[in-house]
Structure 1
Amino acid sequence: MLRGALSIGDGFRFLTLVGDPGAGKTRLLSELMTMAAEQGFTTLWGRAAEYEQVMPYSALVDALDDHIDARRSDVIETVGAAQAAMLAGVFPALAAQDTGETIGDDRSGLARYRLYRALRQMIDALAGSKGLVLILDDVHWADESSMEFLDHVVRHPPNGPVLVAAAYRPAQAPPRLATLVAAAGPRGHEVTVGPLSQAEVEQFLGPEVARSRGRALYDASGGNPFYLEALARMDQTEIGELPPTVLAMLQVELGVLSPDALRVAQAAAVAADEFEPAIAAVAAEVVQATALAAIDELVERDIVRTRDGRFRFRHPLVRWAAYESAAAGWRVGAHARIAAHLAELGAPSTVQAHHVQHSGSFGDQKAVGVLLAAARAVIAQAPATSAHWLQAALRLMPDDHTTREDRLALLMELSWAQGVSGRLAEGRDTARELLRLLPGDDYSRRGRAARVCALMERQLDRPQEARALLLDELSRMPNPRSAAAVPLRMRLVAESLMRVDFRAAQAVLDLMPDAAEDWEPGLAVAVAALRPMPAYAAGRAADAVAYAQAADRLLGSVPDDHLAEWLDAIAWLCWAEINLGRYGDALRHFDRAAEVARATGQSYILTNLLAGRAKTLVMMGRLADAMATAEESVEGARLLDSGQQLVFALTQVCLAASWAGDDDAALLAGNEAVQRGVGGGEVWGAQARYARGQALINAGRLEEGVEAVLDACDRFESPRLDRVTLTSSCEVLARVAASRGDEAESMAWAARAAQLEDRGLAVTSGIVPLARAHALRDKDPAAAASAAQEAARLLSEGQRDLDAGRALLTAGLAHIEAGDKSSARDNLRSAASAFDACGARGLKAQTDRELRRLGVRVSGAASASGAGRDAGDLGLSPREFEVARLVADGLTNQQIAQRLFLSVRTIETHLSRIFTKLDVSSRVGVATALNRRH
């Protein structure tokens, strides 16, 4: 089984060994490491530690840092100076060398997503052509950032031959860890490490142990290898005399040590999982020579083992026993001595913090300072650790009039760190605690805290609570029109917009002036940014455009630091600009706001901004850029554990992947977005259902897709979608009806699209003639071609290049039916060029097939290569191409399912799509189509 895991010639593998303490996971990992080394793989080993669970990336640093240190220049050259500078925040080996690059200020918490990508790239580089086996032991003790990286790497695996093998205890593992193998799909495998059988115990003990003693050892240990070994070591003691718990067994082992060796063992257990003699000597309060002699004894008795000049306990349970054997008060003193020693050496606050939190006394301002410095140092890479140290600082800080202001500021900082780390409920609770402590007449700070709390309630999909909180704070203010009340009213506007209550949003805006003398810098910009969306929703196109232009002018006149407080309002301007077809302005404002969000740590706003940027790029047909942006938004939302932001992001992944021709990825994202079950009755939930419906139709599942689109539009009774999406829905429904030969239904949808058209905006004008072209194709193909060409012109002028290409394809098909092959070729060539530029592989393949039928020689895409090029030229997704190749090789559906670790039903679904896309009706036709490519 372990040898099979080393079959990484075809790419990444993820292996987990799951078992109780002492079950033999580490021993199996050692065997795996030996086999990997024999096969020539680079092998690296790291271990998480029980008493350093908050230390960021400790297991990865343990595994990789020495290897990086030995190859520092090569690593920097391979990953690049910018990536190396980012990784230097985690790996001391890279921090020791100046790469010449500086990292931009990113406090959003999503910086760690880019860090994960850089780390994945470095792992790929370390693998090279030989391959890499990265072993991580005891990952149930790993910090949250390490868990996040493992989740990232199984979802976005390295390209090269890499095996990541992780061992953990199921009872102590967080839920995320237990789902990693499933997330890895067919590349993941789990091995359950259970107890040894009686026969295996006898084999383990060897022939020199009497059979009767072996049976007694088996009964006492329950087959657990670690317990068995500990019992077997006590050959001078009768088994029946030993206490039943492993702690008692280990205490017996520790009990035979000399006093100095025991004290140094306890000190080492306090110090670190892998310790240096000097630190152990300081903690034990002995001279260096005494510590070294004691360590010699510990090594001789196999309590401690040596590796590369460093020392660590032979097993975490041994360290635990040594730690627990020391008196609690003595351990506090040992932590304090280590902390003082590290401070004298000038060690970073992040190294001191672990010992300071265990030894700092109440009111110790120096300890508070160390913890705060450490928390702020790791906030970008490990916000959960930052929050942990901030809480430790709060516990040491007195709560009196001299520290009240510091505590209030620290609570706001803690609330933000908790939110960034994905602990939104904790962040919300901390913000509510801050509201409880703030004086009732401190309206300005209370308003800020209430806005933060309401934002977190919104991320937790609790909009009613968010609204109630805002109204409660407003009711406390003696002057509801004061400057302190404006931010709360702005948040109320945003809440109304989310639930598509545009009248309520407008009513609140009508009570707000454009500016006032006592307003903070940037507040006028924020109010201006909120005005376009309600005007657009009310059908006041001219007002919406005028408001957007005014907001754009104000934005251009203020510096970034005036925008930081109001990014949620700026986001609404950007989304309104998408609906108004002002794509260039939207991208410019999305990018600027995203940079401010990164620098100021507003991660939940950043994920929203990235999703909006992705939507803009989809509308413009820049699908590769859209997918990259949407995936970053997805990763950020997963880090935050925000269902709302995840649905926003997955919706854009669904659309970008669908138009790019990757039906599997599109439907996977669309299904997850809808199945999240959040956003009911709000615009973003309807957008997710629309995206899934569009993906189903593009995948050839027309009936399901039509039903999903109609559901998203509420069957046009009380739709919550914007006018642009509703018009696009009518166009796609007209196209499907025309493909089924239902002219009357197609005409009805085209007519509804015309009713929805806002003649004050160009953004929908091209979609209406395209819907009409679908309806006219059978009855009057020449008129259909003319309408489609007009649509292409309007859409191209509106920067909607993908939709312009679809209109040109429709025009070309209509010209064929009208018998005008020359015009058909011209339109189809232009459509193919548009699709190629957009990266719409499926549509490009469909267009190429039509050109071939007209006798036009079509070449493959120059920008692609290998199987990916072939798949794209045929209009197949990578998975569909893989299935098609196996069909061409003569495999049955059952055999293909076994080969790809999929169900037979899934293979049948893929095959149905392949038949449609290749325009064939049999497996022979699939083989013929593929052979034609070679």
Structure 2
Amino acid sequence: MIVGRRGELRALDDLLAEAGAGSGGMTVMRGEAGIGKTALLEYAAERAGRLGMRVLSTAGVQAEVYVPYAGLHRLLRSAPELGRAAKAVLDAPDTLPYRAAALLLDLLSESADEAALLLAVEDAHWLDTASWDALSFVARRLGADRIAMVLTVREGEDVDRRLAGAGLPEIRLDPLLPEDAIALLAEVAPTLSVTLRQRILDEAAGNPLGLVELGRAVSRSGAGALLPAWLPLSTRVERTFSGLVAELPLATRALLVIAAHDDGDDLDELVAACRRMTGDDIGPDVIEPAVATRLVQVDDRFRLRFQHPLLRSALYQSTAPAERRRAHAALAETVAADPARQIWHRAAAAAGPDEQLAEELTEFAHQARHRQAAAIAVAAFEQAVRLSQDPAGRGRRLVAAVDIAAEQGDTANAVRLLEQVREEDLRLADRALYGLIREVYLDTGWSGSDRMTAFAEAIEVMCRDGDADAALHALTAIGVRVYWSVPPPEIVDRLVAAVEGAGAAPDDPRLVAVLGLIAPMTRGAWCLRKMAELQPADRLVPHFQFALGLTANGLGATTLGNALTTVAAAGLRVQGRLGMLSKILISQATNAAYLGDARSALTLAAEGELLATETGEHSWRLSAVMATGFAEALRGETEKAVKLADAAEAVLVPARRFPLLALVQQIRGVAALAEGRPEEAFREFCRVFDPADQAYHPYTRFLLFGHLADAAVWCGALDRLRELTAQMRAVAAQCPSPALLSGLRYAEAALAGTAEAYDMAIAEIPAEWSFDRARLQHAYGVWLRRHRRAADSRPVLRAAASTFDALGATAWADRSRAELRASGETLRKPVDAAQSLTPQELQIARLAAEGLSNNDIAERLFLSRRTVTTHLSRIFPKLGIRSRAELSRFTGTS
């Protein structure tokens, strides 16, 4: 029975109608306990049934919040054929949430071809994290499917964090209007006196469940059923439910207590656990009094469901600690065949420290972290902390939990856990990591290289103790942090000496990756040689490919970095490891921008930013924003570029992450070049090359020198360019960065100012550095024209414009066309129909042009096949084509 809620009912009707018509969507209904979420969800399910839609439902259960995929298993029980298809993936110990989500989306999309679907998810705030991640991932990708999803959640800080990271549309349920509250109370308790009716109306304050349950309780027992008004409404309603349970037989009450603590709903399992707890030989029939009083329901597959989530909550909260431990101990014995479930019940049943169980939970946490089930890993570490007897073990587990929470961007949880750490309990290595994390969440800001001394000491101790593997792991985890901190040379030397003296194999990919990031100047040349020897990349596991790819990028070996990360990305897509995949995509987007490929940079950055948002990688999301700004500047969309640069600076400066301002400066410099303001561009770039400037970063210079030289040549700052070229030639003698060498070829050819110098430099630039070659061709064309060799200038200017157009570097192509006009030739600007495509449409078009099927594209991009088909149906008219074969003309593929 629903009274009022006209706006909410209309929104649900619209959602279902649109899904039936092929435009799927979802909504989250949130509000306080008892506000009417369940009633609206039941309305949606009933309405969907009348519309011929198939309804799949699940509910979060407080006791199973740490059991991976418990919610998804529950959902698929209502669709046995889908459950069978998904069972192998969901039961696998290494299944990641996004792999499960991709499979679920595929299965649901196929099923929706036969009949539209409604996914009804109650109490989503109690879903296990793996199920939440999978379902929210699916929810964001329903636009082209005949699927609607409705979730209900209670208010709370945890819910705020989940929803903030999920980016899902919401309907917030407010209390009923006074006239609706009066009408509802009249329905359930028509005989109340005026005084009692008003008191219930006042205390319920528009909460529908409060009106219903308090009204019924007063009708049954009189005014004595009303608890003191100072208690929260949810507490009063829970006490009402508890009173109903107290009237049941002892065996029935015991069975309900077990059900409230179980992470499953199988009646036979509940009965078996109850026998263990009570010692009584009971059977399934003991549940009948609870069914008769409509406190629970049992379906034809003998699955038990509470009439209302508050009843389960009431039982759970009112159970005495000793009885709660007995319930969990009984359940642990009953589910012994399922270690993932059993370990949580064992932990909940433990009455005191248990180092063996703590170690088992630690191992479980590491496995969960490997599967990217971060919240489960943190919870397991916290349970392990509670059970730890060894202070050092307790500290190590807390730091690990903090590290995971920090990785996920869960600042509130990281702070809460940090405050529990006792630094005196930590090993030296743990103290170093603790200090670096603590500065971000509890202190004033980023310390740059200040804490690197302590970190170097920790690495030295680990290496001295023969634990090279731990040292390499710690350095791999924090290598990018060291790279952007630019520690003083003495700290770098200590780190290098410790690692190189620890006895690690010279071809250990971690050693190569670590040394390239912590010591680019002194070890960069060696690392570049070793990375070339480690090719082909498919001989390595994705984690090592990724680490080496980041190092190659940091050394300015962007094409090598792309080769490594492309192979890694393919493996990570198959595994569904989206956290690492998002970093790879963002790295590739940045590489594409350095290579002048604006189109690829935008598509890669868009997907990388989406995945970084979904996986909570907030620092990497900021990197995606800056890669997008760089690409927009190349395209000539300078207003967008500068806004993104300003937004990034507003984050970096308060955090005192000054070296990262180099990435902001490159956006501003390239934007100024695109607008024809080379003097301003030169000033912006020079900040990155000035050790006294906050934006100075010695290694970004590798990648930026070509742009700086371009600006200097254009504005005539040749004397300053000559000085910087001499400096950077000395740098290249130590670290032969491919990007730096390419920039030096440009600068030296322009400074020499001879046809021979230009011809030689163009010939030396590798084919894959097509933007750099085109930039040099443009400069050569300008030189030729100004030396009255207009006819000779036209072929090189034409080639430059063609390359810039192909890359989407529109501003540079326009410059080449302008020089061509000055030489006496007009080159028409091509119509770029691909600009009308969104980044996702362009990505789909490119994959289709490469010959991938719709199924392959869907799997690669974590979309449903229907979504891919819908996008292609929109892409063809935008481009004015009729077949996939024509796509290569617009996407740069062949």
TM-score between the two structures when normalised by the length of structure 2? 0.70
CA separation in 1, counterparts of 2:816 and 2:114?
39
Measured after TM superposition, the shift of residue 806 of structure 1 is 5.5
Please tell me whether the aligned partners of residues 750 and 772 of structure 1 are also in contact (alpha carbons under 8 angstroms).
no
Cα 1:849/1:681, change in 2 over 3 Å: same
In the alignment, structure 1 residue 194 sits paired with structure 2 residue 175: yes
In the alignment, structure 1 residue 271 sits paired with structure 2 residue 265: no
SS at match of 1:676: helix
Residue matched to 2:226: 242
Aligned partner of 1:498 among 469, 480, 484 = 484
Aligned partner of 2:285 among 293, 304, 309 = 293
Please tell me whether the aligned partners of residues 268 and 280 of structure 1 are also in contact (alpha carbons under 8 angstroms).
no
Please tell me whether the aligned partners of residues 531 and 547 of structure 1 are also in contact (alpha carbons under 8 angstroms).
no
Please tell me whether the aligned partners of residues 792 and 803 of structure 1 are also in contact (alpha carbons under 8 angstroms).
no
Alignment of 1:234-633 (within 5 A): 234=217, 235-244=219-228, 245-272=236-263, 274-283=265-274, 291-307=283-299, 309=301, 310-343=303-336, 346=337, 348-362=338-352, 371=361, 374-375=364-365, 377-379=367-369, 380-396=371-387, 398-399=389-390, 436=424, 448-449=429-430, 452-453=433-434, 456=437, 461-463=446-448, 466-470=451-455, 473=458, 497-501=483-487, 503-504=489-490, 508=494, 512=497, 519-522=503-506, 546-549=525-528, 551-552=530-531, 573-578=551-556, 582-587=557-562, 611-620=586-595
Residue matched to 1:232: 215
CA separation in 1, counterparts of 2:572 and 2:839?
38
Residue matched to 2:702: 724
Measured after TM superposition, the shift of residue 126 of structure 1 is 4.9
Measured after TM superposition, the shift of residue 61 of structure 1 is 3.7
Measured after TM superposition, the shift of residue 304 of structure 1 is 0.6
The more displaced of 317-326 and 422-431 is 422-431
SS at match of 1:274: coil
In the alignment, structure 1 residue 164 sits paired with structure 2 residue 149: yes
Residue matched to 1:222: 205
The amino acid that maps onto 2:14 is G
| 1:29-56 deviation per Cα after TM superposition (whole angstroms, max 9, x unaligned) | 2222333344444433222122332233
The amino acid that maps onto 2:307 is R
Please tell me whether the aligned partners of residues 632 and 638 of structure 2 are also in contact (alpha carbons under 8 angstroms).
yes
CA separation in 1, counterparts of 2:364 and 2:322?
25
Residue matched to 2:123: 138
Please tell me whether the aligned partners of residues 254 and 262 of structure 1 are also in contact (alpha carbons under 8 angstroms).
yes
Residue matched to 1:36: 48
SS at match of 2:29: strand
TM-score between the two structures when normalised by the length of structure 1? 0.67
Please tell me whether the aligned partners of residues 60 and 71 of structure 2 are also in contact (alpha carbons under 8 angstroms).
yes
Please tell me whether the aligned partners of residues 387 and 417 of structure 1 are also in contact (alpha carbons under 8 angstroms).
yes
Measured after TM superposition, the shift of residue 150 of structure 1 is 6.3
Sequence identity, in percent? 18
In the alignment, structure 1 residue 209 sits paired with structure 2 residue 190: yes
In the alignment, structure 1 residue 802 sits paired with structure 2 residue 814: no
CA separation in 1, counterparts of 2:839 and 2:492?
51
Residue matched to 1:891: none
Measured after TM superposition, the shift of residue 303 of structure 1 is 0.3
Cα 1:463/1:847, change in 2 over 3 Å: closer
Measured after TM superposition, the shift of residue 383 of structure 1 is 2.9
Cα 1:655/1:222, change in 2 over 3 Å: same
CA separation in 2, counterparts of 1:705 and 1:162?
52
Residue matched to 1:26: 38
Structure 1: 5+ residue stretches without partners: 77-83, 96-102, 439-445, 538-542, 776-782, 874-934
| 1:681-722 deviation per Cα after TM superposition (whole angstroms, max 9, x unaligned) | 657512331354267559979899959946963889635133
Please tell me whether the aligned partners of residues 429 and 462 of structure 2 are also in contact (alpha carbons under 8 angstroms).
no
Aligned partner of 2:81 among 45, 64, 70 = 70
The amino acid that maps onto 2:162 is L
Residue matched to 1:59: 71
Measured after TM superposition, the shift of residue 506 of structure 1 is 5.9
Please tell me whether the aligned partners of residues 522 and 563 of structure 1 are also in contact (alpha carbons under 8 angstroms).
no
The amino acid that maps onto 1:4 is D
Please tell me whether the aligned partners of residues 564 and 600 of structure 1 are also in contact (alpha carbons under 8 angstroms).
no
Residue matched to 2:878: none
Cα 1:133/1:360, change in 2 over 3 Å: same
Measured after TM superposition, the shift of residue 325 of structure 1 is 4.4
Cα 1:792/1:479, change in 2 over 3 Å: closer
Please tell me whether the aligned partners of residues 275 and 312 of structure 1 are also in contact (alpha carbons under 8 angstroms).
no
Alignment of 1:843-858 (within 5 A): 854=826
User: What is the count of residue pairs matched by the alignment?
Assistant: 800
CA separation in 2, counterparts of 1:139 and 1:695?
46
Please tell me whether the aligned partners of residues 133 and 162 of structure 1 are also in contact (alpha carbons under 8 angstroms).
yes
The more displaced of 463-472 and 245-254 is 463-472
Please tell me whether the aligned partners of residues 10 and 161 of structure 1 are also in contact (alpha carbons under 8 angstroms).
yes
SS at match of 1:299: helix
The amino acid that maps onto 2:208 is P
Please tell me whether the aligned partners of residues 667 and 695 of structure 1 are also in contact (alpha carbons under 8 angstroms).
no
Structure 2: 5+ residue stretches without partners: 1-9, 229-235, 844-894
Please tell me whether the aligned partners of residues 657 and 666 of structure 1 are also in contact (alpha carbons under 8 angstroms).
yes
The amino acid that maps onto 1:71 is L
CA separation in 1, counterparts of 2:135 and 2:712?
45
Aligned partner of 2:626 among 632, 640, 651 = 651
CA separation in 2, counterparts of 1:493 and 1:272?
40
Please tell me whether the aligned partners of residues 749 and 771 of structure 1 are also in contact (alpha carbons under 8 angstroms).
no
CA separation in 1, counterparts of 2:479 and 2:838?
47
Please tell me whether the aligned partners of residues 273 and 313 of structure 1 are also in contact (alpha carbons under 8 angstroms).
no
Please tell me whether the aligned partners of residues 267 and 281 of structure 1 are also in contact (alpha carbons under 8 angstroms).
no
Cα 1:198/1:564, change in 2 over 3 Å: closer
The more displaced of 250-259 and 487-496 is 487-496
CA separation in 2, counterparts of 1:842 and 1:37?
56
CA separation in 1, counterparts of 2:559 and 2:463?
43
Cα 1:631/1:324, change in 2 over 3 Å: same
Alignment of 1:505-904 (within 5 A): 508=494, 512=497, 519-522=503-506, 546-549=525-528, 551-552=530-531, 573-578=551-556, 582-587=557-562, 611-620=586-595, 644-656=619-631, 659=634, 670=645, 673-677=648-652, 684-693=659-668, 709=684, 713=688, 718=693, 720-721=696-697, 722-730=700-708, 733=711, 758=729, 763-764=739-740, 767=743, 793=762, 796-797=765-766, 799-805=768-774, 827-828=797-798, 831-832=801-802, 835-836=805-806, 838=807, 854=826
CA separation in 2, counterparts of 1:427 and 1:700?
45
CA separation in 2, counterparts of 1:813 and 1:19?
66
The amino acid that maps onto 1:219 is D
Cα 1:486/1:329, change in 2 over 3 Å: closer
Cα 1:622/1:411, change in 2 over 3 Å: same
CA separation in 2, counterparts of 1:710 and 1:798?
26
Measured after TM superposition, the shift of residue 462 of structure 1 is 4.6
The amino acid that maps onto 1:59 is G
Cα 1:252/1:279, change in 2 over 3 Å: closer
